[in-house]
Structure 1
Amino acid sequence: MKVIFLDRDGTMGGNGGGVAPDKFQLFKQTIPAIRLLNQNGYVVMIVTNQSRISRGYFTEEEFIKETNKLLSVLKENKAEIKDYFYCPHYNEECKCHKPDIGMIQEAYSRYPSINFQQSYFIGDNGSSDMMCAQNAGIKKILVKTGWGVSSLTTHRHLWKDIEPDKVVKNISEAAEWIVQNEKFNR
């Protein structure tokens, strides 16, 4: 199984700062990008830190309800998310909060046919998304939406030893690059 692990806030929509689930808006290019990935044999899964749950900004139930609504909208538009994984913790000892790989390990335990060599992680945050991908041995694509630009400039020192496999403008360019890269490497 070829998987695209996809960050939510700042990558699929929002501003990268942990948008409340009922206020989250997809970028216009997100649905076509996910559809393109699906059409090319990729299973897409969301992997997202949601520490605002434990900080009381919204409940876990609200997050799940709104995420399921989001998945329904995507599916209605022929852009399917197979599953989603989230870390609700903040300042707690957990192994799921990116850059730790607990959510990736959970995905693998549910879907043991995941082929990490053919999988990618798309995210906007170098110190969480790119480090998580590096720690899990997954190819890394950094988008410049959300925290992407500041990850490459102001906060580059936080992940200075990691190089993304590709830096792109947005999720659409990431999807197009993945599909072209796969065709080139066949």
Structure 2
Amino acid sequence: MNSLQAVFIDRDGTLGGSDFVIYPGEFTMFPGVEESIKQLKSRGILVCSFTNQPGVADGVASAESFDSELKAFGFDRVYLCPHRHGEGCECRKPSIGMLKRAAEENGLDLKKCVVIGDRWTDLLAADEAGCMKILVKTGSGNQAFEKYRNNEYKGRWAEVQPDYIAEDLIDAISWLTV
């Protein structure tokens, strides 16, 4: 994993919170996550947030509030899709717009990057972009894992295989840094 350039971490259900959106100011990270982020950064790995936040389009929260909160948690960069599902944007996961933008802005080879998330849409985006894919079993992760294990995904969704299935973000980062 020495050539690892960046790790993209989903927010809700992966970093903390639950399987639904908890807005900035009320969101808390899972125990030990902050130390794991520091571990990645100490190895020179760029740590990026990678999150769909339709509440921004709905006026419930601002992109700036998410950006400030995530940077306070230790993230180097925040990539956020503010659009609602079905708006047809290029950034909402499972689209790869956020990953492409991050690659362009930071000179990344996405084949040397990892996406960690609790939803299959995170893994679909990672797969499409050529990133390594880690599913965590927190948030919606247990449900996504059961669907995967029971072959419930169809079409393109069924073609995606996680590179690692982690109990949580700490397990995922430990696996990456061993």
Question: Could you tell me the TM-score, scaled by structure 1's length?
Answer: 0.84
Runs of 5+ consecutive residues of structure 2 not aligned to the other structure: none
Moved more, 12-21 or 129-138: 12-21
Q: Which residue of 2 aligns with 1:102?
A: 97
Match of 1:176, SS state, is helix
Q: Distance in 1 between matches of 2:21 and 2:69?
A: 18
Letter of the 1:175 counterpart: I
Cα deviation, 1:13-41, whole Å, max 9, x if unaligned, reads 11021212221111112101101111222
CA-based RMSD: 1.7
The answer to whether residue 135 in structure 2 is matched with residue 132 in structure 1 is no
CA distance in 2 between partners of 1:96 and 1:166 (Å): 24
Contact 1:22 1:66 in 2 (8 A): no
1:9, 1:66 → 2: CA distance?
11
1:36 is aligned to: 39
State the distance in 2 between where 1:27 and 1:48 align: 17
Q: Which moved more, 1:36-45 or 1:154-163?
A: 154-163
For residues 38 and 88 of structure 2, the distance between their equivalents in structure 1, rounded to whole angstroms, comes to: 36
Question: Within 5 Å, which residues of 2 pair with 1:9-24?
Answer: 9-24=12-27
Contact 2:14-2:118 at 8 Å conserved across structures: yes
Contact 2:103 2:110 in 1 (8 A): no
Instruction: Give the Cα–Cα distance (whole angstroms) in 1 for the partners of residues 31 and 125 of structure 2.
Output: 26
Runs of 4+ in 1 over 6 A off after TM superposition: none
Q: CA deviation at 1:154?
A: 4.2
TM-score by length of 2: 0.88
Name the counterpart of 1:183: none
The number of aligned residues is 169
CA contact under 8 A between 1:4 and 1:43: conserved in structure 2? yes
What is the CA distance between 1:8 and its match in structure 2?
Answer: 0.6
Distance change in 2, residues 1:119/1:70 (3 Å): closer
Map of 1:8 onto structure 2: 11
1:96-129 per-residue CA deviation (whole Å, 9 max, x = no partner) reads 00000010111122112x1323211110101x10
Tell whether the 8 Å contact from 2:70 to 2:78 is kept in structure 1 after alignment. Answer: no
Give me the identity figure in percent: 31
